[in-house]
A and B are shown apart, each in its own frame.
Chain A
Amino acid sequence: MSEFTKLTIKDALTGLNNKEFSAVELAQSSLDAFKQYEDLNAATVLCPQEAMQLAQASDMRRSKGETLGLMDGIPIGIKDLFCTKGVQSTACSKILEGFKPEYESFVSQKLQNEGAVMTAKLNMDQFAMGSANLTSYFGSVKNPWQGKDGEILVPGGSSGGSAAAVSAGLVLAATGTDTGGSIRQPAAFTGIVGFKPTYGRCSRWGIIAFASSLDQAGPMTKTVDDAALMLSAMAGHDPMDSTSAPKDVPNYLQTLNGDVKGLKIGIPKEYMIDGMNPEIKAQWEKGAQWLKEQGAEIIEVSLPHTEYALPTYYIIAPAEASANLSRYDGVRFGLRKDGETLDEMYANTRAEGFGDEVKRRIMIGTYVLSAGFYDAYYIRAQKIRRLIQQDFTNAFKQVDAILTPTAPSAAFSLDNAPSDPVTMYLNDVFTVPSSLAGLPAISVPSNLSQSGLPLGLQVIGGMFDEHTVLKVGKALENAAGFNHVPHILR
């Protein structure tokens, strides 16, 4: 199986059903690939024993012709933000080093019920706070794509380990989570598909919380078809998450086609930001052209509060994080650094356990929630969040989906990554608005930049309209014919 790294889920299911290879062979190939490309630092834990057990059970089911789930025998990676029973789960923070949950997250359990085989836990930005995978306690992840003369690039973040693992073909698919762009931006940086479904589609139960009103799990895959398939395997109502939507989950793949004829596609004029990279602009225009050629109608729309989305996000997300991360107190789980008093023990533990970016965001969140600033910052941000949501509601009266670039640039150099937090935050300029509005959005690889790096296009849909998002994504994928492979696989 020399072509393991290029397999899609769909191909693999066909191969498994035709007995060209077994689930055990697939799992072994995945584990071998992680070892071969260890240098990418995509995994935090490999799970050979658990994977082999699950793969053997899958092969047994298939040999008996028993009812199989949507992903039976498919090797996948799980972002380290998901709690996995008996397997270290840390959100890539020192404060949770060695934490082995006694329970399994809803999403990873559902994937397992559908027959998926977890071969590894995947590296990420610490507590999902970052856009370049530079904040992980386990070290940064390298992008399988490289710059000029083999220059090392970041894979994006926060789901950077997931993106690198899928792009390099170490797993056939991976889970990601997206709070402000953490699935879509790394997908764009690594030339894969990343899909953040509607807020509430996937249960947050067992996902280590960052900003609870924004956090949402989704699939990271090689193709739009695979994203549709995997979303059906991950999503669903869960009574343990009161924000999880009590809606049926369709089989997205079954109904998926790229027929965009007659669809109205919005181009938001406010996304044409000052100083936009000409390559990104050209790629965006190309995307609109592709859809037009396939019969879609391109309409300019206005999302007037777009420029306020990032600052709004950087109040709401840190505020929620400061509350969520108060649970790391050195008492119930994780790291503990002793102190003379209880307060000292808390402060010592958290100073030692959290990374710099996490501390900065907790402190900003604490500040904007503190007496005297709550109304001026936090409540004002929540009001502007409503205005941003209303912008989208108005736009979706005119159009079926919205097309934008995913990120303002291609992947950047690991050594020359911006050290200024605000500059780093700008990576999410195109992804944050739809996160604040809770809308489903996909990133699809479109073409290569002049320097030979993948670029992504984003499609945003209305609430719970994953179907249209996938359809437009598929039309873009068909037109783009993106079949480039990352440098390390050449």
Chain B
Amino acid sequence: MSVIDRDTVRKVAFLSRIKVEEEALDGLAGEISKILTWIEKLQEVDVSNVEPLASVVELTQPMRQDKITDGGYPEKVLSNAPKVAHGYFTVPKVVE
């Protein structure tokens, strides 16, 4: 059984950068535990000598010239930003 507790949910919520209220932790722990328990089924499969499959497209990555092909329109890049100042994105202060 892969059951996670409220402390684990708190930690995962932090890693996910999603604020979860204290009173919601238990409910989420229950829901996520149920899903993880269902997923446990995979432990019964013998996967020795099996290579992981990340993508069904097993091509080598296409190569191209290392040249700039796009850009030069900061106003478009910023047009959907919730807060801009002086042609830049803005964030809360990160250094004291």
Q: Which residues of A contact B (CB under 8 A)?
A: 98-102, 199-200, 213, 239, 242-243, 245-246, 305, 307-308, 311-312, 314-315, 322, 326, 329-336, 338-348, 350-351, 354, 359-360, 362-364, 366-367, 370, 377, 379-387, 389, 420-422, 437-438, 463
A362-B16, A363-B18, A438-B57 known; A383-B52 Cβ under 8 A: yes
A363–B53 contact, CB under 8 A?
A: no
Cβ of B55: which chain A residues have Cβ within 8 Å of it? 213, 243
A389–B92 contact, CB under 8 A?
A: no
A334-B80, A363-B13 known; A347-B19 Cβ under 8 A: yes
Which of A322, A341, A360, A386 lies in contact with B92, CB distance below 8 A? A341
Cβ of A333: which chain B residues have Cβ within 8 Å of it? 80-82
Cβ of B52: which chain A residues have Cβ within 8 Å of it? 379, 382-383, 385-386
CA distance A350 to B57 in the complex (A): 32
Asked whether B3 is an interface residue with its Cβ less than 8 Å from the other chain, the reply is no
A311-B38, A332-B80, A336-B82 known; A380-B47 Cβ under 8 A: yes
Given contacts A102-B76, A311-B41, A359-B18, 20 further A-B contacts (CB under 8 A): A200-B56, A213-B56, A239-B62, A243-B57, A246-B62, A315-B42, A330-B82, A331-B81, A332-B89, A336-B83, A344-B19, A347-B13, A351-B20, A381-B42, A382-B54, A387-B45, A420-B34, A421-B31, A421-B34, A421-B35
Q: Which residues of B contact A (CB under 8 A)?
A: 4, 8-9, 12-20, 28, 31-32, 34-36, 38-39, 41-43, 45, 47, 50-57, 61-62, 64, 73, 76-77, 79-83, 89-92, 94
B41–A387 contact, CB under 8 A?
A: no
Cβ of B73: which chain A residues have Cβ within 8 Å of it? 102
CA distance A335 to B81 in the complex (A): 9
A383–B53 contact, CB under 8 A?
A: yes
Cβ of B79: which chain A residues have Cβ within 8 Å of it? 100, 102
A199–B57 contact, CB under 8 A?
A: yes
CA distance A245 to B55 in the complex (A): 13
Cβ of A377: which chain B residues have Cβ within 8 Å of it? 39, 42
A-B interface contact total, Cβ < 8 Å: 158
B45–A350 contact, CB under 8 A?
A: no
Cβ of A387: which chain B residues have Cβ within 8 Å of it? 45, 47, 50
Cβ of A98: which chain B residues have Cβ within 8 Å of it? 80
Cβ of B77: which chain A residues have Cβ within 8 Å of it? 102
Of B36, B41, B52, B53, which is in contact with the most chain A CB atoms at under 10 Å from its CB?
B53
Task: Name the 6 nearest CB pairs between A and B, nearest first.
Answer: A438-B56, A382-B52, A336-B82, A386-B53, A333-B80, A351-B19
B58 CB to closest chain A CB (Å) equals: 10
CA distance A312 to B36 in the complex (A): 11
B42–A308 contact, CB under 8 A?
A: yes
A244's nearest neighbour on chain B, judged by CB, is: B57
A331's nearest neighbour on chain B, judged by CB, is: B89
A377's nearest neighbour on chain B, judged by CB, is: B39
A348's nearest neighbour on chain B, judged by CB, is: B19
CA distance A354 to B56 in the complex (A): 29
CA distance A244 to B14 in the complex (A): 35
10 A-B pairs with C-beta separation under 8 A:
A102-B73, A102-B79, A199-B56, A242-B62, A332-B89, A338-B92, A363-B9, A363-B13, A385-B53, A387-B50
Which of B4, B9, B16 lies in contact with A350, CB distance below 8 A? B16
Cβ of B54: which chain A residues have Cβ within 8 Å of it? 213, 382
CA distance A364 to B94 in the complex (A): 29
Cβ of B57: which chain A residues have Cβ within 8 Å of it? 199-200, 243, 245, 438
CA distance A345 to B18 in the complex (A): 10
CA distance A24 to B80 in the complex (A): 32
A242-B62, A347-B18, A350-B19 known; A386-B50 Cβ under 8 A: yes
B47–A383 contact, CB under 8 A?
A: yes
B62–A342 contact, CB under 8 A?
A: no
Cβ of A351: which chain B residues have Cβ within 8 Å of it? 18-20
A363-B16, A370-B15 known; A331-B91 Cβ under 8 A: yes
Cβ of A385: which chain B residues have Cβ within 8 Å of it? 52-53
B44's nearest neighbour on chain A, judged by CB, is: A308
CA distance A422 to B33 in the complex (A): 11
A242 CB to closest chain B CB (Å) equals: 6
CA distance A200 to B62 in the complex (A): 14
CA distance A305 to B44 in the complex (A): 11
Cβ of A437: which chain B residues have Cβ within 8 Å of it? 56
A345–B91 contact, CB under 8 A?
A: yes
B17–A363 contact, CB under 8 A?
A: no
B17–A347 contact, CB under 8 A?
A: yes
B10 CB to closest chain A CB (Å) equals: 11
A340's nearest neighbour on chain B, judged by CB, is: B92
